[in-house]
Structure 1
Amino acid sequence: MSHQLPDVQASRPDVTVGLSQVGVTGVDKLVKLDRGEKRPLVLMAEFEVFVDLPSGRKGIDMSRNMQVIDETLEAAVSEPAYRVEDMCGDAAERLLEKHEYTSTAEVRMTADFVVREDTPASELPTQSTITIVASATATGEGTREEIGAEVVGMTVCPCSQGMSASRAREVMSDLDVDDDTIEAFLEAVPQPGHSQRGHATLTVTTDGSPDVDLMDLAEIARDSMSARIYNLAKRPDEDHMTYHAHANAKFVEDCVRSMAEQVVDDLDHLGDDAVVRMKQSNDESIHQHNAHAEREVTLEQLRAELNGDEL
């Protein structure tokens, strides 16, 4: 004898409080991106999927969320898909359609992507890894999509470098080196400062699909720090990275501001309503804590600030 299983999720909760995000995290899927005549890119991606929950409903349909994600990602594998942010948008819109009680659906994705490049001095082939960051939020008013990257680089602290330069100046002065020679030497040979491994994140969010190239955002983020780093490094490459990092010492705040300046210069085709998220976190080498700075801002506001205008 068959019986109908109770729909516990649809029952009224004991505490009638709505929730802004309910869903699943840590969903691993293979994603294939079509590149025309080139071989497709296959990514191992991790997804987070959320919908909002009204106060009168006890829970979401968890199995339905998983079914929608599976359906969408399987479609992305079997049909041409060119942008991961569009795939997230498709999934978010499907979620919204299949959950009659929700007003917002959100899909987030991260995936490691390998970039082939040459080392800066010895010009040997090597690989670097960036993390693709994509998301989409679907509502009754439309879908906003986000695309960007998290990259790793190197920074050098200007404060500790300044102290080292001051000490070098005093030592050379005691050795009767003239002031002009001291300054010329310090200009040519950057002094030591404590270094950090930096993690830069840059994303752009717009209505629909952002008109930006993922690798352009990754390049901006990598160039915002004191120097790029490489997995393979012969001694000339190590010297190159160390010298350039110390010749371009930056606080964590400087890295975010460098991203902001490059975004305004390089992404001038984007509309004022595009939202830019810029984040820098540095793993300190002489402290147990880390340094962090970030900004989320519309391009309209960012352009105004860099132009010295007030909105």
Structure 2
Amino acid sequence: MKELKDTQNERDDRQLPIDRVGVKGLRFPVEVRDKDESVQRTIATVALAVDLPEHYKGTHMSRFVEALNAHGSCLDVRSMAGLPRELLERLDAGKAHVEFEFPFFRSKAAPVTGKPGLLDYEVRFEVEASKGGGLDFVVTVMVPVATLCPCSKEISDRGAHNQRGIVTYSVRSREPIWIEDLIELVERSASCELYSLLKRPDEKAVTERAYDNPVFVEDLVRNVASRSNSHDDITWYRVEAENFESIHNHQAYAVIEKHVEKPAS
């Protein structure tokens, strides 16, 4: 076969390195082990990237897909963590970044009747590696919750406005933390958690639970932050809450980001 010209390896003279270049929007099957020690098969949307020195015109996009597919038809979390190091070698890069975002399902029993129903959450794994350095692993869970407005409850003769919100919670940790444990930490911080299946007794219970536990969006992020500060293994977190207000045509929003000093173990 005639050797074809490698345009990507040509020199670029603009003296502008690129922080990340690669591919995104790939869909790929993954296996995630849950807290019950079973394997959950799901589909991830994948982004793969490396840095590019200023003297290279481009990177070899096909090598990203080759590296991903080299792991077979299903990638588990352990091999996912090794993928950025493989990209460093394949693309002769200084830094590599891998991102997997996927739906994660939990079976939740309704609070009174115990009727089970599946509820979905979005989860994101971000892994970064550099030559001569370690791995940086960030886990993000996106958790839907219910919040009830303390001000509305205080000033109203009847009822209080409530809404659904989404908490985006990212952590770095000394030891791996189960996805379910991160989800539950967030759900305990809201007025009430959400369920996919509620009968009338359940609906009554969650409505009253939210009414008895009003939180502003500010309370919500502070509740998550406080629990994160007390966690033995969390070393950094970013908690972002967005409420889809039921009586306003806008969202309420708050965020806290913090490095957590931990005593040496």
Q: Is the TM value for this pair above 0.5?
A: yes
Asked if structure 2 preserves the Cα contact closer than 8 Å seen for 1:92 and 1:137, the reply is yes
Match of 1:133 in 2: 124
Listed one character per residue, the Cα deviations across residues 55-90 of structure 1 (whole Å, up to 9, x for unaligned) are 222221100011111223x2755xxx4xx3x43321
1:197 to 142, 164, 178: 164
Asked if structure 1 preserves the Cα contact closer than 8 Å seen for 2:28 and 2:74, the reply is no
Q: Indicate the SS of the match to 2:126.
A: strand
Match of 1:121 in 2: 112
Residues 35 and 235 of structure 1, relative CA distance in 2, 3 Å threshold: closer
Q: Which amino acid aligns with 2:124?
A: V
1:142 to 128, 134, 147: 134
- Separation in structure 2 between the aligned mates of residue 53 and residue 110 of structure 1, nearest angstrom: 24
Asked if structure 2 preserves the Cα contact closer than 8 Å seen for 1:144 and 1:206, the reply is no
Residues 212 and 39 of structure 1, relative CA distance in 2, 3 Å threshold: closer
Query: After superposition, where does 1:276-287 map in structure 2 within 5 Å?
Result: 276-287=237-248
- Separation in structure 1 between the aligned mates of residue 54 and residue 198 of structure 2, nearest angstrom: 56
- What are the ranges of 5 or more consecutive residues in structure 2 without an aligned counterpart? none
Q: CA deviation at 1:200?
A: 1.2
Match of 1:293 in 2: 254
Matched, 1:224 2:216: no
Listed one character per residue, the Cα deviations across residues 206-264 of structure 1 (whole Å, up to 9, x for unaligned) are 47xx4322211111011221101111111111111111112211111211111111223
Q: Which amino acid aligns with 1:286?
A: I
Match of 2:103 in 1: 112
- Separation in structure 2 between the aligned mates of residue 36 and residue 221 of structure 1, nearest angstrom: 17
Q: CA deviation at 1:162?
A: 2.3
- Separation in structure 2 between the aligned mates of residue 88 and residue 111 of structure 1, nearest angstrom: 13
Structure showing greater radius of gyration is 1
Q: Indicate the SS of the match to 1:216.
A: helix
Q: Which amino acid aligns with 1:46?
A: T
Structure 1 length normalisation: TM-score?
0.77
Q: Which amino acid aligns with 1:24?
A: V
Structure number having the greater strand percentage: 2
Matched, 1:63 2:24: no
Q: Which amino acid aligns with 2:166?
A: H
- Separation in structure 2 between the aligned mates of residue 289 and residue 113 of structure 1, nearest angstrom: 28
- Separation in structure 2 between the aligned mates of residue 97 and residue 295 of structure 1, nearest angstrom: 36
Listed one character per residue, the Cα deviations across residues 6-59 of structure 1 (whole Å, up to 9, x for unaligned) are 211122336332221111111111112467996532111111111111222222
Q: Which amino acid aligns with 1:161?
A: K
Q: Indicate the SS of the match to 2:147.
A: strand
Q: Indicate the SS of the match to 1:131.
A: strand
Residues 157 and 51 of structure 1, relative CA distance in 2, 3 Å threshold: same
- Separation in structure 1 between the aligned mates of residue 117 and residue 74 of structure 2, nearest angstrom: 30
Asked if structure 1 preserves the Cα contact closer than 8 Å seen for 2:34 and 2:178, the reply is no
Match of 2:82 in 1: 90
Matched, 1:4 2:15: no
Identity within the alignment, %: 30
Match of 1:242 in 2: 207
